Structure 1
Amino acid sequence: MMDTSAASSAVETPKPCWTAVANIIRERHYGPGGAEIRLGTKHFAPGAKVYVIDWYGGMCQRIIVVGLHRKSRRYITLTIDVRLVENLRPKVCYDPTAIAKFNEHYPSNSRSNYNYTNYLTKEFAETVCQSIPLWQLNYKAAAETPELSADEIEFRRPRTLLSRLQVFLSFIFKN
């Protein structure tokens, strides 16, 4: 008969890691002019807890999250819009199924000793929690700026060779 302590030590528990944890927004406006209100997203229920594990820093629009799918009740990795999350906070993730998804996103390389634990640190989680609200404010500010009408836009005529030559010569004679 096998000892239970030996059996539990044979199953290796994954190392916990820091992530930014967020909740999916409850209501969001949808459709032309935001006339329709939808609850949650297509893949996540409203208020669902998701782990933010990566982002596209140059774009400031999308983040990669791991969370329970609203219908299959399985963990999925998905890229979503930053406006769809709220209540960001840094936390340690102990869930072995979620950590397995982190491993899928950050595959370990046989040449280097790099894996998700090298990337998902407390500093990264705090940076995500500070940056994403700023990205959301950028979206809000961009939505509030009025767009120019066709009458307000001044179209430039393409420059001819003669006008380019005049600009060039005026530059040379000034210097």
Structure 2
Amino acid sequence: MADTEPTEEGTPDGLLGWCLVANVAQETARGESGLVIRRGTKHFPAGALLWIPPMRWDPGWGRWHAVGRHRGNGRRYVNMVVRADDLENFRVKGVYSEGLVRSLNGYDHDPAAPRTLQDPWTRERAQSWADGRNQLREVIVVDGRRHPRISVPNPPPAELQVGGEILHLAQYGTRGPHYSRMPPPVEWVPET
């Protein structure tokens, strides 16, 4: 992508650091069983560019800190915790704005050094995270329980062998593939 490559081998003029970025997904799932589909999130419109600083503390499983321009006020950057499932198109971009540096630093921002990122990404580490998130793999749900260590490609296979047992695809929707230990019902066909 053009926004990740500098024009020369050296550092581009004015670059303050590298950061992992992503866009808010066009459709996000909310509500019971993810049946309510919305454009964007409550705080960010669909397609909004979010800057993701390195994690300082864990906001919870599947949630990340993000800095972006709020849906209601496009001038200022805001810090929010967002669901990782609501983000897409991960990549690396250079940071050039002091206002963005202030927001990425958060409470650790030093007014004496306004152009210094306190905990910067290295370009290679950010690219590694982006590549890992852009792989089209989804965590499965087996008989109503989420299994975060088991993931499948998108689209998921109809049958999956895990630990010696065969799981059958029961449902595939916005909340990912749901598998069942029970085989699918066989359609009865009358004899003629």
TM-score tier (shorter): 0.5 to 0.7
Q: Which residue of 2 aligns with 1:37?
A: 37
The 1-side partners of 2:77 and 2:139 are apart by 28
The 2-side partners of 1:145 and 1:27 are apart by 20
Higher relative contact order structure (alpha carbons within 8 Å, sequence separation ≥ 6): 1
Q: Which residue of 1 aligns with 2:139?
A: 139
Does the 8 Å CA contact 1:29/1:36 hold for their aligned counterparts? yes
Name the SS of the counterpart of 2:45 in structure 1: coil
Instruction: Encode CA deviations 1:66-96: one digit per residue, 9 max, x unaligned.
Output: 1000012221111111111111111102122
Letter in 1 for 2:62: Q
Matches within 5 A, 1:114-133: 116=117, 118-133=119-134
Does the 8 Å CA contact 2:89/2:134 hold for their aligned counterparts? no
Structure with greater strand share of residues: 2
The 1-side partners of 2:122 and 2:70 are apart by 25
**TM-score (structure 1 length as normaliser):** 0.60
Does the 8 Å CA contact 1:54/1:63 hold for their aligned counterparts? no
Matched, 1:75 2:44: no
Unpaired runs of at least 5, structure 2: 1-13, 111-115, 147-175, 183-192
> Matched residue pairs, number?
130
* Cα separation, partners in 2 of 1:118 and 1:37, compared to 1, 3 Å: closer
**TM-score (structure 2 length as normaliser):** 0.56
Q: Which residue of 2 aligns with 1:19?
A: 19
Name the SS of the counterpart of 1:116 in structure 2: coil
Unpaired runs of at least 5, structure 1: 1-13, 109-114, 150-175
Instruction: Encode CA deviations 1:73-127: one digit per residue, 9 max, x unaligned.
Output: 221111111111111111102122211112225445xxxxxx6355322123113
Which runs of 4 or more aligned residues in structure 1 lie more than 6 Å from their structure 2 counterparts after TM superposition?
56-59
Q: Which residue of 2 aligns with 1:88?
A: 90
Identical aligned residues as a percent: 25
Q: Which residue of 2 aligns with 1:52?
A: 52
* Cα separation, partners in 2 of 1:59 and 1:30, compared to 1, 3 Å: closer
- CA RMSD in angstroms comes to 3.2
